Amino acid sequence: MWHKRIMIASCLRTLLAALLLALLADSATAMPRLERDRCVFRPPRGEKLECYTLVVAENRANPKSAEVRLKVAVLKAKRPLAPDAVIYLAGGPGDSPLVASTAGADPLAEGDWWNDTAVVRRRRDVIIVSQRGAGGSTPNLDCFEARSSEPARARRRAVTERQEREILLRCRADFDRRKIDLSMFATPTLADDVADLAKVMQLSKVNLYGISYGTRWALEIMRRHPGIVRSAVLDGLYPPQINGEQNEPEIVRTVFEQLYGECASDKLCRERNPDLAASVKAVLAQAERVPLRITLSLVDGPQAIQLDGPKLLLVLLHMMRQGEAALVPEAVTALRRGDSRLIKQFAEDLEEEDGGLLETNAQQFGGLFNTIECRETWAGVDQGARERAIEAGGVYSLTARLSNLPAFCPVWRVPVAAPAERQPVTSSIPTLLMSGGYDWLTPASWGRDAAKTLSESRHVIFRAQGHGVTSQDPCAARLRDEFIDAPNPRWPLPCRAGVPPDFAGALERVKALPTADANWKE
């Protein structure tokens, strides 16, 4: 009898152990889950950092879905008094804040994250999460190596237009071979990733902070998961009802006409740059006839370049984007005299930051960028209306003609976004919207459109700034920090947003430039 009882007890223990092992195995493979990682970043003395990998399902509707792994960095609060962390949502799509842009660098130091978040981190953690499909995630959809070293830059610049198409075709075919479902790399699934992150980190509420495409990402979280969002700060609005490819020539014209008006209203600018509109059109037309030849001093050495009309316009728009609109009149007037110092300075900055002058394929090789832009933007373009706008836009159409979406979206083969995804987001979540008056990438008019359906929102336009005002204007950064601390859109502004371009300061900077060394050349 005792022998039988011992045998039964032994069998029960074996069965329970097997069940426990099965449960542990299930929990180890369950999604979503958070895995602790070793931090490769170097926090400053006195700062604390935690690093994780968020593991989520590629397709949440498929129980046998493949895993997607996302890097997560938590910049810890000095005194964690507030439980609602701030989650940063990067732009692009495809920006990778947790991946260094140069080999061996610390991306948190590159992005000045510790200083920029210092005020918020007095009370709250700041969480940075990778976008699925971009750098810092597995799988990574990028089709070509990053520009993180001198040899890599040289290889990218050497790619011809024909080779570029072949690279994209091979890359897209490789995703099919690996059974990667590109329909699962879209704004709604990125929004669900953030909801899963909040769940596994046991955050009942979070504050969203998005810039550029990150604002569309944030708005989708507010639509799909409103219960987890305490507040949102959106810098450079790109709402889902807006199609960024549809009317670029009119956007470009609008920011230039704003600059013409502001210069004409300023005595110093008006005297130094008479008839600025005619000068802008003249230098662009001249560059179309005879491209400007300059040598850029880049990290990987000097590079000779020819700036034709579209590329010269890109440089002028880059100046506006960087919050340097006040320097544009000086750059244009100097160029008419054969002095290209300012143009050279900002052409170097543009090429190092984004490519587009020497390296014309910077965005096309970003697989997540291609996937989202082809799915959510190009598929909704009225192509006939776009072509008519380009024809009517004159010199302001030059950059729109450079778009490669018409060529590579057919190669990329992604399904079209559902019409419901393109509807405005309606929400009563406290939201701060910020725009730059000279932002041509996400113009202030898009912020006004987004605000119409956000009942507890405030839209602030920083008159002289460009794209990403929190990095350009201390007032914008202060407003962001104070709003996150106490999200009340009806509070008076703590500082001035309507400061005009500083044309006098621009002149002083011009006087400090080295001697001119560039001229128009055949």
Q: What is the pLDDT of residues 34-75, one digit of tens each?
A: 999 999 999 999 999 999 999 999 999 999 999 999 999 999
Beta strand spans in 377-473 (E) = 431-436, 457-462
Q: What is the pLDDT of residue 159?
A: 76
| Same domain flag for 209 and 303 | no
Percentage of residues of the chain with pLDDT beyond 70: 91
Mean pLDDT (the chain) is 90
In the structure, what pLDDT confidence band is assigned to residue 402 with cuts at 50, 70 and 90? confident
Q: Which of 210, 182, 226, 228 is nearest to 68 (CA)?
A: 182
The phi-psi region of residue 394 (left if phi > 0; otherwise alpha if psi is between -120 and 50; otherwise beta) is left
Q: Which of 99-103, 111-115, 185-189, 315-319 has the lowest mean pLDDT?
A: 99-103
Please indicate, yes or no, whether residues 85 and 171 belong to a single structural domain of this protein.
no
Residues 455 and 353 in one domain: no
The residue range of the domain holding 44 is 27-141+181-241+423-491
Pair 316, 331: CB distance under 8 Å: yes
Phi, psi of 103 (to 5 degrees): -60, 130
For 118-136, the pLDDT digits (tens) are 999 999 999 999 999 999 9
Residues in the chain: 522
Among residues of the chain, what percentage have pLDDT more than 90?
76
Is the predicted pLDDT of residue 519 greater than 60, yes or no? no
> Do 85 and 192 belong together in one domain?
yes
**For residue 10, is it within any domain?**
no
User: Does one domain contain both 474 and 456?
Assistant: yes
Which contiguous run of DSSP H or E holds residue 187?
helix 187-200
Co-location of 82 and 169 in the same domain:
no
Tens-digit pLDDT profile for residues 380-396 = 999 999 999 999 999 99
- 516 against 122, higher pLDDT: 122
Distance CA 462, CA 498 (A): 6
Same domain, 229 and 329: no
State mean pLDDT over 197-211: 98
- Which residue type occupies 170? R
Q: Are 219 and 342 in the same domain?
A: no
Does residue 30 or residue 48 have the better pLDDT?
48
Amino acid, res. 347 = A
Q: If you average pLDDT over residues 268-293, what whole number do you get?
A: 96
In sequence order, which residues have a C-beta less than 8 Å from that of residue 390 and are 6 or more positions away?
249, 397, 400, 401
Residue 122 covered by a domain: yes
CATH code for the domain in which residue 442 is found: 3.40.50.1820
Window from 150-154, 250-254, 291-295, 374-378 with minimum mean pLDDT? 150-154
Domains of the chain: total: 2
Write down the pLDDT at residue 10. Answer: 47
Give pLDDT, residue 163: 82
CA dihedral 164, 355, 325, 396 (to 10 degrees): -20
Residue 515 has pLDDT above 90, yes or no: no
233 and 380 assigned to the same domain: no
Q: Looking at the structure, do residues 360 and 450 belong to the same domain, yes or no?
A: no
Q: Answer yes or no: do 69 and 136 share one domain.
A: yes
CA gap 471, 447 in Å, rounded: 18
Indicate whether 174 and 61 sit together in one domain. Answer: no
Which pLDDT band holds residue 27 (cuts at 50, 70, 90)?
A: very low
Estimate to the nearest angstrom the gap between the alpha carbon of 111 and the chain centroid: 13
Does the CA dihedral 330-331-332-338 come out positive or negative?
positive
pTM of the model: 0.91
> Can you tell me whether residue 241 is helix, strand or coil?
coil
Q: Are 86 and 206 in contact (CB under 8 A)?
A: yes
DSSP secondary structure of 495-513: S-S-PPP-HHHHHHHHHTS
